[in-house]
Chains A and B, each alone.
Chain A
Amino acid sequence: MKHFRVNVHIVPRKGLLDPQGKAVGDALHTLGFTALRDVHVGRYLVIEMAAADATAAETAVREMCARLLANPVTEDFEIAAVTAA
């Protein structure tokens, strides 16, 4: 077994009202970042774990997301990186 570090982004599902993202976006507009189109505020998790290889680590984290880390009704998740730690 090797050690891996898996980075996961969890964001509000597209199309759902994201009031937090909107509030941050409005603040950035006020600061003069007028080119800004949209902001989404989510969570970023770093999971350290043992696995046979990177694929196995990613598979396990996908299951973690499906069962606990992301709410399937309101959130999408994306595995940003799997690196050997």
Chain B
Amino acid sequence: MKFGIVSFPGSNCDDDALFAATETLRQPAVKLWHKDHDLQGSDVIILPGGFSYGDYLRAGAIARFSPIMREVAAHAQRGGPVIGICNGFQIACEAGLLPGALMRNAGLQFLSMPVTIRVENTGTHWTSRCHAGQCLTMPIAHGEGRYTVDSETLEKVEGEGLVVFRYVNALGETTDAANVNGSLDNIAGVRNVAGNVVGLMPHPERALDALLGSTDGLVLFESVLAAVHA
């Protein structure tokens, strides 16, 4: 299974994602430059973290107009798996691949720390190997991660089970204290209706090695491997 990792000017987790694909998962992977027009046969697309275009205007707002995004949208439309991590989540929301938007953290601080998230939905390409309610620990590193959506869309997002992850405490409870960036309903990640596109603020690709403190990110990649091979 071939991973395609999109590099925008200002992406800084593309090498982490590449390492995850090639070293941890032992899968072929290619970096796709944002000006490319072809996914080079990639089966899975990762929109990595970083500060594409310097976060000018809004995080992710300009990256969504990169030429490669047209191909990414077509891949998503065909049911191909896509994950947006951190800045990649912001880009996916700006591009309309996922509902909602990410705003400045409620506390205004850039947050770089491990968090615990709870799996709310296992009907996606990225969480099929998780069990509902499973708690995963992985790092966050963002200044604009407060998930927001208008009330009408929120009803759909909650009603149709599009919430994939929520910030929780060590006991797996959605408390205000655990909701580090002030997201609506503690939402840390969402999916599209088809379940092939998932976005989240935490970094699963940085939680693949015990040396780095957690291997909880692995289950997301195992899920997508299973989904593509199925």
Spell out A's residues near B (CB within 8 Å): 12, 16-17, 19-20, 23, 43, 68-69, 71, 73-74
Report the number of A-B residue pairs with Cβ-Cβ less than 8 Å. Answer: 36
A23 → chain B closest CB, angstroms: 6
CB <8 Å contact, B101 and A71: yes
Residue of A23, A43, A71 with most chain B CB atoms under a 10 A cut-off: A71
A36 → chain B closest CB, angstroms: 19
Cα-based distance from A19 to B153 in the complex (angstroms):
23
CB <8 Å contact, A74 and B101: yes
Cα-based distance from A73 to B59 in the complex (angstroms):
14
Please count how many residues in chain B sit with their CB below 8 Å of the partner chain's CB atoms. Answer: 21
CB <8 Å contact, A73 and B108: no
A-B residue pairs in contact (CB < 8 Å), sample of 29: A12-B103, A16-B103, A16-B148, A17-B146, A17-B182, A19-B105, A19-B106, A19-B108, A20-B108, A23-B108, A43-B57, A68-B57, A68-B61, A68-B62, A68-B65, A69-B57, A71-B58, A71-B61, A71-B101, A73-B93, A73-B100, A73-B101, A73-B148, A73-B149, A73-B150, A73-B153, A74-B101, A74-B103, A74-B148
